[in-house]
Chains A and B, each alone.
Chain A
Amino acid sequence: MQAVTCACALLVVVPLALVFYHVLKSGIGALNWAFFTQLPKPVGEPGGGMANAIVGTFELLGLAALLGVPVGVCGGIFLSEYGYTRLNWWIRFAADVLNGVPSIIWGMVVCALVVVPMQGFSAWAGGLVLGFIMIPLIMRTTEEVLRLVPQGYREAALALGIPLRRAILRIVARAALKGIVTGILLALARVAGETAPLLFTAFGNVYWNHHLSEPIAALPLQIFNYAISPYEESHRQAWAGALVLLFMVAIINVAVRALTRERFGKIP
């Protein structure tokens, strides 16, 4: 029986290995300096790159973090430090519900909320929807990390006469900082790969985005558009883009693992 379960476990790893292998194999060939510096060429033409998509992803992540990090961290602080039992239960419940909402629904909502009044797709809308997705994620992880800070820290701080707000910010949150940063990085890695909400908010762009109220390209969006196009050249570019995106996400996850590995006795 041990062999059967271990066989199942290895079977589970097989798709991951295949995906990595194919992304590496097909992506490496199309990766060159032009890929990182040039705009997409017209359909069917060889060459070109995804420079605008890579920069666009970073821009969108920055906007999303601008919204998601303060709201999420402050919300997590409230949930953990202020003990209004009924209210906190409802807030946690709402955060869990939001975590379960499919990302395409988020896209529809922000499209109706922002894109229609602004009469156009924009980086603002894309950053907003990614930030919305990040808020409940960061809120829950921040709360859980803050709960792990020993009670003695808070009591000692208050006993010294430090005001509550400074006790929370400078002592409790600082003690949990590594965990909070880990949560933020994980949320960023998660939204970096989100495509569906960007379909109707950022929309994608084959040129550089010069203003945040213009549509903006993003790596997963560009990969999707290339993947479903009929041109072989576009497929090659899609694989290369997938390699870059996978690399980005893997780097963030490795960083998170490195940050959390220093705890001894961590059970896998």
Chain B
Amino acid sequence: MTTQSPLRATPGALSRQGAGDQVFKWLMLTMALSVIALIFIIGCELAHGSGPALRKFGWRFLTGTDWDPVHERFGALPFIFGTVVSSVIALGIAVPLSIATAVCLTELAPQWLRQALSLFIELLAAVPSVILGLWGIFVMVPWLRQSMFPWLRGALGFLPLFQGPIYGVSLLAGGIIIAIMIVPIITSVSREVLRSVPGLQREAAYALGATRWEVTRIAVLSYARKGLFGAVILGLGRALGETMAVTMVIGNRPEIAASLFAPGYTLASVVANEFTETPPGVNLEALFEIGLVLLGITLLVNALARLLLATFSGPALSTS
């Protein structure tokens, strides 16, 4: 924590405060408590909205594969599959790149390059999701369909992952675009983690005769393992909730397929596409339940990330 603590309104001081100060304090307190109220509001609204469907489907909702508004059979498994697969692909692409970039930014790059790079990373974080999705639909997906996917099928087509028809919009495209979105957050948190590794670790490694890369690998990266893992999980949390860019490039087909070239559907996308068009009833309640599932997964992942980061280096590490 900071070395100076702000003024504490100790119990003794309270009785000496004037009426104006009391009013001020209660006003600030009410505003601060709003966040707690908001959490309850979110939970209550989602639970209320999905209540009858929760009772009707039970756990079958998480394992059913039909999304059939006509026969009122709803199962979230295709969406959970799509969300998990696209997030895993995104992590697979983004994590090595991000950690390498963070290492570059903290350890290995000259000063001028660091400033330029960190500016670019911040700019990438600021790009709205819908613009990335727009670029995805009109630039990335055609390129994938014409060049990248056929090459992948030619090179790795013996794996069932890379077989099947190529549409361009696919789970893989969704994974790639999520990767682009989560690279900034993983990079910046990793950078903070790597910077908080004590200098003594590096000096000790140098003193033992390690080369520059060995110092980075042994002294810094191993020490920062838990923090880096926390950064990755934070990126995963962001990936799970990503809606707009994914909706535009993933193909929106609620089926489970073995091929990465197949279109998919994520939890967030189905809500984005169908919510405004669904009449009240079981269908809408099923959508609320999807929202509940998404909220649960995201909260769990984010809590895990913050736990890891907090135990790594104490509350001094800002993770917002």
A interface residues, Cβ below 8 angstroms from B: 1-2, 4-6, 8-9, 11-13, 15-16, 18-19, 22-23, 26, 70-72, 74-75, 77-83, 90-91, 94-109, 111-113, 132, 135-137, 139-141, 144, 146-148, 150-151, 154-155, 158, 163-165, 168, 189, 192-196, 199-200, 203, 220, 223-224, 227-228, 235, 238-239, 242, 245-246, 249-250, 253, 257, 267-268
Contact = CB atoms under 8 A, between A and B. Distances in A.
Given A9-B105, A11-B97, A12-B187, A96 B319 contact: yes
A23 B123 CA distance: 14
Contacts of B119: 257, 268
A4 B101 CA distance: 10
B5 A23 contact: no
Contacts of A6: 104, 108-109, 113
B229 interface: no
Contact of A250 (B96, B123, B248): B123
A77 B45 contact: no
Contact of A109 (B45, B100, B213, B319): B45
A107 B274 CA distance: 13
Nearest to B302: A100
B60 interface: no
A83 B48 CA distance: 36
16 contacts: A9-B104, A13-B117, A18-B139, A74-B32, A83-B7, A91-B35, A98-B35, A99-B320, A102-B294, A104-B243, A113-B45, A141-B320, A193-B127, A193-B129, A223-B134, A239-B138
Contact of B244 (A75, A195, A253): A195
Contact of B9 (A2, A75, A82): A82
Interface string B101-142: 101110011000111011111111011111111110111000
Interface in B205-243: 212-213, 216, 237, 240-243
Most chain A beta-carbon contacts within 10 A, residue among B21, B24, B122, B128: B128
Contacts, number: 287
Contacts of A8: 96-97, 100-101, 104
B141 to A, nearest CB: 12
B6 A146 contact: yes
Nearest to B107: A5
B155 interface: no
A154 B101 CA distance: 41
B276 A102 contact: no
A189 B115 CA distance: 22
Given A12-B187, A109-B46, A223 B130 contact: yes
A224 B132 CA distance: 11
B271 interface: yes
Contacts of B4: 150-151
Most chain A beta-carbon contacts within 10 A, residue among B48, B240, B276, B320: B320
B90 interface: no
A15 B283 CA distance: 38
A97 B7 CA distance: 27
Given A77-B28, A78-B31, A227-B133, A108 B271 contact: yes
A164 B24 contact: yes
